Structure 1
Amino acid sequence: MKTLPRCATALVLALVLAVGPAGLAASPARADQGRLRLEAGWAALAPGVGYRELTVRTPHGDARVYAVRADLRGPGVRADLLFPGAVAARAPLTAMAGARSAVAAVNGDFFDISEEQHPGVAATGATSGPAVYRGRALKAAVPQAQRFGWWPPPGDTDQDVLGVGVDGVARLGRLVLRGRVRAAGGAWPLGGLNQYALPVGSIGVFTPEWGEVSRARAACGNDESRKAPCTAQTREVTVRQGRVAAVSDTPGSGPIPAGSTVLLGREAGARALAGLPVGAPVAVDYRLESSEPVPFRFALGAYRLLRDGQALAGLDATAVEPRSAVGLADGGRVLTLLSTDGREGTSTGLSLTELARTVSELGCPDGVYLDGGASATLVARDRATGELTVRNQLDHGRERPVPNALGIFAG
């Protein structure tokens, strides 16, 4: 028997494999429901990066799982954030991964995908959670009630992230926005950074990284409901070279020029900004404060599945959907990216509790889940041909454009 890779060694004691002529493991007994059936060894995508396909037996049927394992200690092996170049933008995962020559990638955070409850307001495509890129704060988290996707387990928030520190080690943490707007009339805390939703009564800052999409969505919903109406009490102030360059009573759209920032206030925040005329001096400072001592080189929003080998309490055990997740092993030096089939063909998706068990049985004591449903996508490059392809079966056979992703690079 071949030696199993580090992230699969936990399966040795749990499984007895019967291999048939086609090289596939025989179906496990009913007592093994929820266990993995290994169908092949890890195939090398690049030095330090492997790929394999698995089958998970569940009471609701077989689920196909596609996984990429990356040893971040390997020469040239690293992980990074993929995004289309703007916070409020989306692109197919194959396009983002291909543009950066990634070896593999999995879709990322939940995002603003529909605004049916706000007529005339376009969905922004921006993610719910924070993001850091090349050590720079890209965006902060929306209010908890404004997130899209499943509610996180108790204790998790939209400020939770998965990332890699400047030391090259992957870790889970929390990023909290800290910032202020200072002017002659006073100082006000910032409630948002490049977010599709702002807390009621707050002021948010938008930078050129936001993109061209209208900022109107940031004044919709409230701290209790994403579906609450938009407020008409808004004020937008454009700041350039430390002074107010333009003002408006409505949120704007279009690209923000380099060297400029836009402040958008709603309710009390709008009233505060109304006191800033054109030409008034304004200072804006912000940062994402990390719960971790090592700064993140990159990070994206993600929700805990596992901590120290134990599934988090409160994970949904009922809803079965296509899923994406990332497991951490060897103290954050090994990452396992995975995604499932679901909604198409004979393969089912997984519940969150089944997803947690799957990540654990791959030998990863810590793990997070990412956006799922039609967003669940895993791509990997064929080592022989160099072709980057989608490995899981997609909802309706189409790639859904996504706002960010976790990419793996080698060489």
Structure 2
Amino acid sequence: MHRKCFAMVLSLGFFLACTVVSLLTPVGAEAYQVITKTSEEETITQGASLQTVRMKTDGGPLNAYILQADLREPLLKIDTIIGSDGTLNKNQNVTEMARRTRAVAAINGDYFQMMTSGRTIGLAYSGGKLVESPARRNDMYGFGLTIDKAPLIEIFDFAGHVTAANGESFILAGINKPDYLLPSGLSSDEGALNLYNPLWGKTSRGRLSGLTGVVEAVVQDGVVQRVLTDQPGVPIPANGYILQGHGAAAQFILDNLQPGSAVSYTYTVAPGGNNIFAAVGGQALLVEDGQLPAYFTQNITGKHARTAVGVSRDGNNLYLVAVEKYTDPRAGVVSVGMTQEELAQFLISIGVWRAVNLDGGGSTTLVARHLGDFDASLINQPQGSSQRQVPDALGIFSMAPQGTLTGLVVSGPDVLLAGTRGKFTVKGYDQYYNPVRISTDNVDFSVPDGAGNFRGSEFTAAGTGGTVTVTASLGPASGTATVRVIGPEMIAKLAISPEALKIEPGQSVPLSLQVRTYSGETFDLQPADVTWTVDSAVGQIVDGKFTAGQNTITGLITATFQGLTATAPVTVQPPWQEINVDPEEDTSASMDDWVEVLLPRGTTSSPVVLQLSHESNFSDVPEGVYVQGAINLQPAVGKDLILNNPLIVNWLYDEDVLSHCPLIMLYDDVAEKWLEQPARVVIDGSTRTISARVWGFGRLVLADDRRPTPQFKDTTGHWADFSISKLASGGILSGFPDYTFRPGEPVTRAQFAHALAAVLQWPQPQNPPGFKDDIPAWARAAVAKAVSWGVVSGYPDGTYRPEAGITRGEMAVMIDRALTLPVADSRMKFLDADKIPDFAFSAVNRTAGAGILQGSEGYFNPTAGVTRGEMAVALARVLNWWAVHP
């Protein structure tokens, strides 16, 4: 709860604001109303108990935990636990503190500088030794206990002096104090002389932030060893201390504490003085004479986890109280916490006469050793996600000798179904309620006749319902526990989980059976409690695990318990779906009514079997491509199947999910990259389908393309800009390193073949052609594909001439052959039709009729060279035509 105690800037401001408000505002009354309340109490050792209070209030659930210790009990010790090693050097959580020191219970103590040194603000005594002096404030109460266990809840005062060998002395402001604010608003370090001994930690504080002229004197065996100014911290002598001064105190050190000179100090703490045995600092007085005080000296407002220490009117009973504030991520609010006023009222309600507020919020931690346990356990759920490391805690210790076995604590299931088994454990304790180590193997368990039977420590409930008392005995010691047995007459139904199985041959799945009673309770049965049956052709069940057979088959799993049965359908099938392709018929298959694969008649030359399955490996898609679904389509045998025509993949999608640019991509194993497939979107009412033509097999993904559109410096406003951007986005065309596209630059035969192959995604031919001249590596595969599909050919001399330019007439021929365009409805009307070569005449007519190629001002210009801009426009139209003409 650390918007508090002086983590300098923020926390100090909060502290002072709270002080002013609290001095002007009277303490209010209890804010919540209790609707129901339950209380449980257990003894943790002789003279100490733990009470758990659970309330349902008009403000929500509220839990409080009360450690009560009888200060008259001679075998009980109350002491302060300091840090992780008995010093303030390093903090530790309360559970670890209690276990390290063998405390039977503990609760967190003082406020501390959480954001800086981690040291406490108020006083601390442990084992009768002063660990830290009180703060020089008149608004911070503390708790102390004298050697004879007389409790003190007061504002403690400190007075001390340091005396040099020459008789000069200076006021000692504190021992082992961190920086904190004084009521004046000044830092406690300003002008002050402080002492630091090994209980502070390993090294002194050294130079201080925001202050200059800080002087430290290292003292060992009462003699000054050296004097340092504004230096880093130094080791604190084991048999000595460090005097640190600022301002007048620093000057006192420089003037009077020369190395080699003697020095001494004295101090007093009041009230209590040398009689104080244990103490921790705190904050406001919460209860005074069994009533709310007129005002709180400090008040941290709001509902928080809270910690307090209080005493009874006669001073014989000590109360260590923790209030829980916790919200379970799944179950919701467990406890709402309390305001400071509500905490005070609660303390009064349990009999507290005087009490002080300790550190709360995330620091609130209460641990206790349950009866029979050897270590303390966490009792409250901390307000944060885990226990906070704190500088000190109040611990309860048993000083009793080891006694003899007196009683047993029996633990086991609270509820059992008739016919099922439950394991019971036993812990022992002596006459002082301290643990005694025992072996469960030596314990005798018994139940009334007809209630069931024990085998070792495992109880099997009989076939009827009711409450059964389990008795454990070991010598003169005994203990009992009760278990509620649910008979078959109370069982409403059984349910197998999973309720239906779809599994691959040879795979295994664990089964469970749940019982639901007529009252709505549910219980999970152990596999051994259930009789499982399944047809051997479907699989087998061993120890509650179903293992599928090797056949593709359907069947039923049956579970029987107490005369009731439940069934679960099971389907055994491979992870893929087989597609038997008949080349004389259209063949289709769908998966999850989401994606359809269609192979039109003639797609293959002979009957083949394909396997269609889900795909999970798609993490290698390009950045900016967001996958929404993935499949894998492969030939059942081998991967060399050549398609005569592309197959079609139809994929349903939600426009709210694929909101940018839906696409289908195929992974090319040869090129080792994902390739976008030519596709079109079909809209039928609210249904949207993307349909792609695919020339191959492998991994396919449905994705949303959110990659930024490539930008070129020289295409803005150009008539081909849209087509250039579209093809560049799909990876079909690219620009130059200087971020230009150069739309007016001429296109070569190799470049056009490469681009056309990228648009139409032809498969790699089995027998690539050979040419006399060298084709660039980047175009070699594309030229081979174009030649194989009859789109382009070489010259009579056996060359391809990849660097030769391509004319508009030649481009028309290549496109016409690639698309197998239909005869045009009408004859073209280009003004230069008589200039079109015979080899290109029909192709120009068909490409113009299909809207793929157009002229300029009525002329086709068949012999003109093709520019990169013209190629982009033509190929964008090719892509559209190919996608919509399956």
Identify whether the pair has TM-score above 0.5, normalized to the shorter chain.
Answer: yes
Q: CA deviation at 1:137?
A: 1.9
Q: Which residue of 2 aligns with 1:140?
A: 133
Q: In structure 1, which of residues 173, 181, 203 is the aligned counterpart of residue 162 of structure 2?
A: 181
Q: Which residue of 1 aligns with 2:97?
A: 96
Q: In structure 2, which of residues 170, 174, 178 is the aligned counterpart of residue 192 of structure 1?
A: 174
Q: TM-score, normalised by structure 1?
A: 0.79
* Preserved CA contact (<8 Å) 1:243 1:278: no
Instruction: Give me the whole-angstrom Cα distance separating, in 2, the residues matched to 1:139 and 1:32.
Output: 37
* Preserved CA contact (<8 Å) 1:171 1:332: no
Structure 2 matches for 1:242-253, cutoff 5 A? 242-250=222-230, 252-253=232-233
Paired residue secondary structure (2:39): coil
* Preserved CA contact (<8 Å) 2:122 2:134: yes
Instruction: Give me the whole-angstrom Cα distance separating, in 2, the residues matched to 1:296 and 1:258.
Output: 24
Count of residue correspondences: 351
Structure 2 matches for 1:354-369, cutoff 5 A? 354-369=342-357
Indicate yes or no: 2:361 matched with 1:370. no
Paired residue secondary structure (2:384): helix
Indicate yes or no: 2:150 matched with 1:164. no
Instruction: Give me the whole-angstrom Cα distance separating, in 2, the residues matched to 1:187 and 1:209.
Output: 24
Paired residue secondary structure (1:308): coil
Q: Which residue of 2 aligns with 1:87?
A: 88
Instruction: Give me the whole-angstrom Cα distance separating, in 2, the residues matched to 1:386 and 1:255.
Output: 37
Give per-residue Cα distances to partners, 1:128-184, cap 9 Å, x unaligned. Answer: 00112222222113444xxxxxxxxxxx533x3212111122222343222212222
* Preserved CA contact (<8 Å) 1:191 1:203: yes
Instruction: Give me the whole-angstrom Cα distance separating, in 2, the residues matched to 1:36 and 1:250.
Output: 61
Indicate yes or no: 2:388 matched with 1:405. no
Instruction: Give me the whole-angstrom Cα distance separating, in 2, the residues matched to 1:293 and 1:214.
Output: 26
Q: Structure 1 residues 330 and 310, CA, compared in 2 at 3 Å: closer, same or farther?
A: closer
* Preserved CA contact (<8 Å) 1:214 1:251: no
Q: Structure 1 residues 37 and 81, CA, compared in 2 at 3 Å: closer, same or farther?
A: farther
Q: Structure 1 residues 266 and 37, CA, compared in 2 at 3 Å: closer, same or farther?
A: farther
Q: TM-score, normalised by structure 2?
A: 0.38
Q: Which residue of 2 aligns with 1:231?
A: 211
Moved more, 126-135 or 308-317: 308-317
Q: Structure 1 residues 248 and 372, CA, compared in 2 at 3 Å: closer, same or farther?
A: same
Give per-residue Cα distances to partners, 1:347-372, cap 9 Å, x unaligned. Answer: 11111100101111111111111101
Instruction: Give me the whole-angstrom Cα distance separating, in 2, the residues matched to 1:266 and 1:293.
Output: 28
Q: Structure 1 residues 52 and 251, CA, compared in 2 at 3 Å: closer, same or farther?
A: farther
Paired residue secondary structure (2:343): helix
Q: CA deviation at 1:280?
A: 4.5
Instruction: Give me the whole-angstrom Cα distance separating, in 2, the residues matched to 1:396 and 1:33.
Output: 23
Structure 2 matches for 1:271-350, cutoff 5 A? 271-276=251-256, 278-292=258-272, 295-303=275-283, 304-315=285-296, 316=299, 318-345=301-328, 346=333, 347-350=335-338
Amino acid in structure 1 at the alignment position of 2:174: G
Amino acid in structure 2 at the alignment position of 1:367: A
Amino acid in structure 2 at the alignment position of 1:187: S
Q: Which residue of 1 aligns with 2:118?
A: 125
Structure 2 matches for 1:8-157, cutoff 5 A? 33-35=32-34, 38-56=37-55, 60-84=59-83, 85-114=86-115, 123-144=116-137, 157=139
Instruction: Give me the whole-angstrom Cα distance separating, in 2, the residues matched to 1:299 and 1:37.
Output: 36
Q: CA deviation at 1:46?
A: 1.6
Moved more, 323-332 or 313-322: 313-322
Amino acid in structure 2 at the alignment position of 1:190: L
* Preserved CA contact (<8 Å) 1:137 1:288: no
Amino acid in structure 2 at the alignment position of 1:138: V
Instruction: Give me the whole-angstrom Cα distance separating, in 1, the residues matched to 2:326 and 2:245.
Output: 42
Instruction: Give me the whole-angstrom Cα distance separating, in 1, the residues matched to 2:373 and 2:161.
Output: 51
Q: Structure 1 residues 36 and 50, CA, compared in 2 at 3 Å: closer, same or farther?
A: farther
* Preserved CA contact (<8 Å) 1:36 1:358: no
Paired residue secondary structure (2:342): helix
Paired residue secondary structure (1:167): coil
Instruction: Give me the whole-angstrom Cα distance separating, in 2, the residues matched to 1:206 and 1:251.
Output: 16
Amino acid in structure 2 at the alignment position of 1:244: V
Q: Structure 1 residues 140 and 293, CA, compared in 2 at 3 Å: closer, same or farther?
A: closer
Q: CA deviation at 1:43?
A: 1.2
Moved more, 196-205 or 360-369: 196-205
Amino acid in structure 1 at the alignment position of 2:61: D
Q: CA deviation at 1:96?
A: 1.0
Q: CA deviation at 1:293?
A: 7.6
Q: Which runs of 5+ in 1 are unaligned?
A: 1-30, 115-122, 145-155, 221-229
Instruction: Give me the whole-angstrom Cα distance separating, in 2, the residues matched to 1:291 and 1:385.
Output: 38
Moved more, 87-96 or 53-62: 53-62
Instruction: Give me the whole-angstrom Cα distance separating, in 2, the residues matched to 1:100 and 1:164.
Output: 19
Q: Structure 1 residues 231 and 32, CA, compared in 2 at 3 Å: closer, same or farther?
A: closer
Indicate yes or no: 2:340 matched with 1:352. yes
Instruction: Give me the whole-angstrom Cα distance separating, in 2, the residues matched to 1:95 and 1:36.
Output: 36
Q: Structure 1 residues 325 and 237, CA, compared in 2 at 3 Å: closer, same or farther?
A: same
Instruction: Give me the whole-angstrom Cα distance separating, in 2, the residues matched to 1:283 and 1:294.
Output: 22
Paired residue secondary structure (1:396): coil
Moved more, 372-381 or 256-265: 256-265
Amino acid in structure 2 at the alignment position of 1:79: I
Instruction: Give me the whole-angstrom Cα distance separating, in 1, the residues matched to 2:199 and 2:242.
Output: 11
Q: CA deviation at 1:296?
A: 1.2
* Preserved CA contact (<8 Å) 1:179 1:284: no
Q: CA deviation at 1:193?
A: 0.7
* Preserved CA contact (<8 Å) 1:93 1:379: yes
Give per-residue Cα distances to partners, 1:229-264, cap 9 Å, x unaligned. Answer: x21121111112332201111254354122211110
Amino acid in structure 2 at the alignment position of 1:305: L
* Preserved CA contact (<8 Å) 2:38 2:55: no
Paired residue secondary structure (2:154): strand
Amino acid in structure 2 at the alignment position of 1:128: I
Q: CA deviation at 1:216?
A: 4.4
Indicate yes or no: 2:209 matched with 1:210. no
Instruction: Give me the whole-angstrom Cα distance separating, in 2, the residues matched to 1:362 and 1:252.
Output: 50
| CA RMSD of superposed structures (Å) | 2.4
Instruction: Give me the whole-angstrom Cα distance separating, in 2, the residues matched to 1:136 and 1:194.
Output: 13
Q: Which runs of 5+ in 2 are unaligned?
A: 1-29, 180-187, 401-886
Paired residue secondary structure (2:199): helix
Moved more, 52-61 or 97-106: 52-61
